[in-house]
A and B are shown apart, each in its own frame.
Chain A
Amino acid sequence: DQQVKQNSPSLSVQEGRISILNCDYTNSMFDYFLWYKKYPAEGPTFLISISSIKDKNEDGRFTVFLNKSAKHLSLHIVPSQPGDSAVYFCAARGSGGSNYKLTFGKGTLLTVNP
């Protein structure tokens, strides 16, 4: 079963507007969440993360919001730029012991149109 879900396989946004990518999770043991950006034939690039004890983290144009009660997080990119066009993966990390592996969603392809 998919413990991290990105229900929108694709999203198209106009340059300068806000991009909102959503992610839901089912495992309440996840304690840290990360967003990665991936271009074809390259490795995922770390963007931004958030601990489960916070509800918001901001870094430049990127903001991640976490609603722990709803088991939902979102990545906001504003303003969106054509160079942001890529696949965005939401990932979650388990807590406790050595369980630091990441569980990924299936990704959302963001296209920012000039």
Chain B
Amino acid sequence: AAGVIQSPRHLIKEKRETATLKCYPIPRHDTVYWYQQGPGQDPQFLISFYEKMQSDKGSIPDRFSAQQFSDYHSELNMSSLELGDSALYFCASSHQTLSYEQYFGPGTRLTVT
């Protein structure tokens, strides 16, 4: 079965640079969620999109923005990167009306040096 695809899997950036993370949800899933997991931490919700509209917002810095496109893939744009942004970034998808389960991608490991 198709799973959530994230790219890239690993990304190394320097401070103050920008990064773009991509997420391709499971086919026919209409909702995408982004989570950030710091070292030794639990995943923290950043932002979600339902049918291409932002549906919820968590502890996402103003330096970050995201969108969901017409093909339902989503991109998380991160600017003015800081050392503290180094983390695993997970994307998850779900079908809002069919099931409550969120299925996670393998994550993007971002390292800011």
Contacts and interface: CB of A to CB of B under 8 A. Distances in A.
Interface of A: 32, 34, 36, 41-46, 49, 51, 89, 93, 98-107
Contact of B41 (A34, A103, A106): A106
Contacts, number: 63
A106 B96 contact: no
A75 B27 CA distance: 30
Contact of A43 (B31, B55, B107): B107
A106 B42 contact: yes
B58 to A, nearest CB: 6
A39 B67 CA distance: 28
B94 interface: yes
A42 B107 contact: yes
Interface of B: 4, 6, 31, 33, 35, 41-45, 48, 50, 55-56, 58, 90, 92, 94, 96, 100-107, 109
Chain A CB within 10 Å, residue with most, of B42, B90, B94, B104: B42
Given A44-B90, A104-B42, 15 more contacts: A34-B101, A36-B104, A41-B109, A43-B4, A43-B107, A46-B102, A49-B101, A98-B48, A98-B50, A100-B33, A100-B55, A100-B56, A104-B44, A105-B42, A106-B42
